[in-house]
């Protein structure tokens, strides 16, 4: 392949650490070029992949424009690109880290305002009394507008935040805010509360693919290989192997046949970790033992369904 598959990864902060730890756990360590402060790298164990280290916000933009094929960034940043971001970007795998909620928050002193319906009522009264629209400070313009529209709220205006959004109400720059929070502690410290139905998005880091990138020259095949490794590791972490003596195989196979999703094989079975004790109990009832439990490193499947869906959406356009 003359040109590599390009994947963009976060270049700094907690998200960088979590992403690199995840890849290393999958057997694909990020090896920086030009030292730790370099902005290019490779994945150990997988050829034909170029890694670019950039900010999470830049990754979202690069996926949207097609500058990179794959990227790891927050779902909040991806959805902020456009109401129709899914026409340009495909979500491949939710990664379970980088979690944060995008929420609507109001001053705690607004005792009677606890829901978006209350906000709608206050916005009407505020406009009638002052002749001005309620101000909402945010960095997330696209998602805020869409969320307020879903709740039928029109008597407001957005104040784009360039700094610490949570300080806007206290500074008199806005009446409400929408912002990202993980624990809510910063909001509380600034005298704010999250509305009961004010959750706009529960975000986490996503492995995402660009529909605008050039996927020719075998790059989709490299993505298949990468995705199968990542999925095999994730599958293994939620799986358990149970093995039993060969002479008890017939009784054991009959016992575990009742477990949904169990992958039986000679003298053993692969089960979801959540069904481990159920499987062990059924084997014990059948008089099978000793049963030895081990955990696999990888559990590979022939296909990566997310990549096959991606291939279908590309539909030969690359």
Q: For residue 25, give the CATH number of its domain.
A: 3.40.190.10
| Residue 57 placed within a domain | yes
Do the domain assignments include residue 295? no
Distance, CA of 10 to CA of 19 (rounded, Å): 8
Has residue 262 got a pLDDT over 90?
no
| Distance separating alpha carbons of residues 210 and 90, to the nearest angstrom | 6
Q: Considering only 32-36, 46-50, 134-138, which range has the smallest mean pLDDT? A: 32-36
Q: Do 147 and 104 contact (CB within 8 A), yes or no?
A: yes
Which residue is listed with tokens 């358990």? 240
CA pair distance 40, 191, nearest whole angstrom: 42
Q: Are 217 and 2 in contact (CB under 8 A)?
A: yes
H helices present in 183-218, as ranges? 185-189
140 and 173 together in one domain: yes
Task: Report the share of the chain in percent with pLDDT over 90.
Answer: 87
Q: In what order do the strands lie in the sheet with 263-265?
A: 263-265, 268-272, 239-243, 292-294
Say whether pLDDT at 318 is over 50: no
Is residue 125 included in any domain, yes or no?
Answer: yes
Pair 78, 215 in one domain: yes
Q: Clarify whether residues 10 and 94 are in a common domain.
A: yes
Domain that holds residue 14: 5-98+204-234+303-314
Q: Does the pLDDT of residue 304 top 70, yes or no?
A: yes
Contacts of 236 (CB under 8 A, 6+ apart): 295, 296, 297, 298, 299
In a domain, 35, yes or no: yes
Looking at the structure, do residues 182 and 308 belong to the same domain, yes or no? no
Same domain, 214 and 65: yes
Within a domain: 118: yes
Q: Residue 296 falls within a domain, yes or no? A: no
Higher-scoring residue by pLDDT: 258, 227? 227
Answer yes or no: do 264 and 221 share one domain.
no
Percent of the chain with pLDDT strictly greater than 70:
95
Please report whether residue 88 resides in a domain: yes
Same domain (yes/no): 228, 87: yes
Total tally of structural domains belonging to the chain: 3
Is 240 inside a domain boundary? no
Q: Which contiguous run of DSSP H or E holds residue 256?
A: helix 249-256
Tell me: do 185 and 123 sit in the same domain: yes
Q: Are 218 and 91 contained in the same domain?
A: yes
In this prediction, residue 266 has a pLDDT band, given cuts at 50, 70 and 90, of confident
In angstroms, the Cα distances linking 26 to 29, 234, 246 are 8, 8, 32
Tens digit of pLDDT for each residue in 40-64?
899 998 999 999 999 999 999 999 9
Q: Which residues pair with 157 in a beta bridge?
A: 135
Reported as a single tens digit per residue, the pLDDT across 57-88 is 999 999 999 999 999 999 999 999 988 899 99
Question: Do 18 and 56 contact (CB within 8 A), yes or no?
Answer: no
Helix, strand, coil percentages (3-state) for the chain, rounded to 5, are 40, 30, 35
Kindly state whether residues 20 and 111 are assigned to the same domain: no
């Amino acid at each position: 392949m003359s040109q590599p598959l390009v994947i963009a990864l976060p270049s700094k902060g907690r998200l960088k650490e979590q992403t690199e730890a995840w890849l290393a756990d999958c057997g694909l360590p990020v090896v920086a070029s030009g030292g730790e402060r370099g902005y290019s790298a490779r994945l150990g164990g997988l050829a034909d992949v170029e890694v670019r280290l950039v900010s999470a916000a830049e990754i979202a933009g690069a996926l949207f424009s097609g500058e990179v094929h794959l990227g790891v960034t927050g779902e909040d940043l991806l959805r902020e690109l456009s109401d129709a971001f899914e026409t340009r970007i495909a979500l491949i795998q939710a990664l379970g880290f980088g979690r944060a909620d995008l929420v609507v928050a109001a001053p705690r002193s607004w005792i009677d305002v606890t829901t978006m319906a209350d906000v709608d009522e206050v916005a009407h009264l505020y406009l009638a009394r002052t002749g001005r629209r309620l101000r909402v400070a945010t960095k997330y313009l696209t998602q805020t507008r869409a969320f307020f529209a879903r709740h039928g709220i029109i008597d407001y205006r957005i104040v784009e935040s360039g700094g610490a959004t949570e300080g806007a109400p206290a500074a008199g720059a806005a009446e409400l805010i929408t912002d990202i929070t993980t624990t809510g502690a910063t909001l509380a410290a600034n005298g704010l509360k999250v509305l009961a139905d004010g959750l706009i998005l529960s975000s986490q880091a996503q492995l995402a693919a660009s529909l605008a990138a050039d996927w020719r020259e075998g790059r989709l095949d490299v993505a298949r290989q990468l995705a199968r490794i990542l999925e095999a590791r994730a599958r293994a972490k939620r799986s358990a192997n149970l093995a039993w003596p060969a002479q008890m195989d017939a009784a054991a196979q009959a016992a575990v046949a009742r477990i949904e999703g169990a992958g039986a094989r000679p003298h053993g079975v692969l089960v979801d970790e959540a069904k481990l004790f159920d499987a062990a109990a059924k084997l014990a009832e059948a008089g099978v033992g000793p049963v030895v439990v081990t955990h696999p490193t990888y559990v590979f499947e022939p296909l990566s369904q997310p990549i096959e869906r991606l291939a279908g959406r590309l539909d030969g356009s690359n």
